[in-house]
Amino acid sequence: MTRVAVTSELESAERIGEFLTNVSMEPVYLPCIQIVHSPPETLDPMRVAAEEADWVVFTSRRAVEIMWPEVMPRGPKVAAVGAATAVAVAAAGGRVALTGSGGAAELCDRLRGRVAGQLVVFPHAAGAAPETAAMLRSGGAEVVAAPAYETMSVAPAEDPVDALILASPSAVAGWLMSRELAGVVIATMGQTTARAVRDSGVEPDVVPKVPGASAIVSALHRHLNQLSERSSQ
């Protein structure tokens, strides 16, 4: 059975692990990141602003769950990157008005024509590209943006694996603290993570067009099947 390293923090890793098990691959949980929530003095002003906001923009499920672990305000429309983020918004009672599948830049480009003169709240990961908020402001929006959390890189254990799923540049950095990228099949969740892999001198094998656990596992499964078919010819 193919052993696949899952490098996300435990909650997200378990979701990916379920998809891997469903296609007869063995998940090996090797966390390469640690999530640190921002303090209340950073989160609370965004929560207050959201009560009067026209839009809230989320680029990850994690930001939704940190900002509103119970119920988020129903007033603002929500723009979300990816189906998993949209599901998290709906679970928190939010009102999803726009879902993008191409990353933060694609979503904000679609929003620019809708937000002139409006208040947009953007809780994001620390270190997220400032261009995202700048794109919203270029559309005439008043933007309240701050980090909801920080992703810290950590070194994984050295369990043997055949393939590797990386969901963030921080996970790439964590993996490289104790291991090499050569010698395993590499699947990355999104172009930003793919760039981080390329910056280390390795080309990722699998970069699905659509973000999400199901998409990356399906793409990895197809790729491994193709490799198996070629080797048997």
Phi-psi domain of 212 (left: phi exceeds 0; alpha: psi -120 through 50; beta: other): left
Q: Please tell me the pTM assigned to this model.
A: 0.74
pLDDT of residue 102: 74
- Please state the rounded mean pLDDT for residues 48-64: 95
**pLDDT band for position 56 (cuts 50, 70, 90):** very high
Domain of residue 204, CATH code? 3.40.50.10090
Q: Are residues 99 and 198 in the same domain?
A: no
Residue 18 and residue 59 in one domain: no
**Cβ(77)–Cβ(95) below 8 Å:** yes
Q: What is the pLDDT of residues 117-159, one digit of tens each?
A: 999 999 999 987 688 889 999 999 999 999 999 999 999 999 9
Q: Which of 149, 169, 188 is the last residue of a domain?
A: 149
Looking at the fold, whether 177 and 110 belong to one and the same domain comes out as no
Boundary of a domain, candidates 133, 149, 165: 149
Average pLDDT value over all residues in the chain: 93
Q: For residue 6, give the amino acid letter.
A: V
Burial of 135 (0-12, 13-18, 19+ CB in 10 A): buried
Residues 206 and 181 placed together within one structural domain of the fold? yes
pLDDT band at 54 (very low <50, low <70, confident <90, very high): very high
Measure the CA–CA gap between 12 and 61, rounded to whole angstroms.
10
State the DSSP string of 49-66: HHTT-SEEEES-HHHHHH
Cα–Cα dist 198/175, whole Å: 14
Q: How many domains does the chain have?
A: 2
Distances (CA, A) of 228 to 16, 150, 210, 225, 233: 22, 39, 24, 5, 9
pLDDT at 211: 72
User: In the predicted model, what is the mean pLDDT of residues 179-189?
Assistant: 95
82: containing domain = 37-149
Residue 191 clears pLDDT 90, i.e. is over it: no
**Domain boundary residue, one of 149, 181, 214:** 149
Residues 121 and 167 in one domain: no
Distance CA 85, CA 16 (A): 15
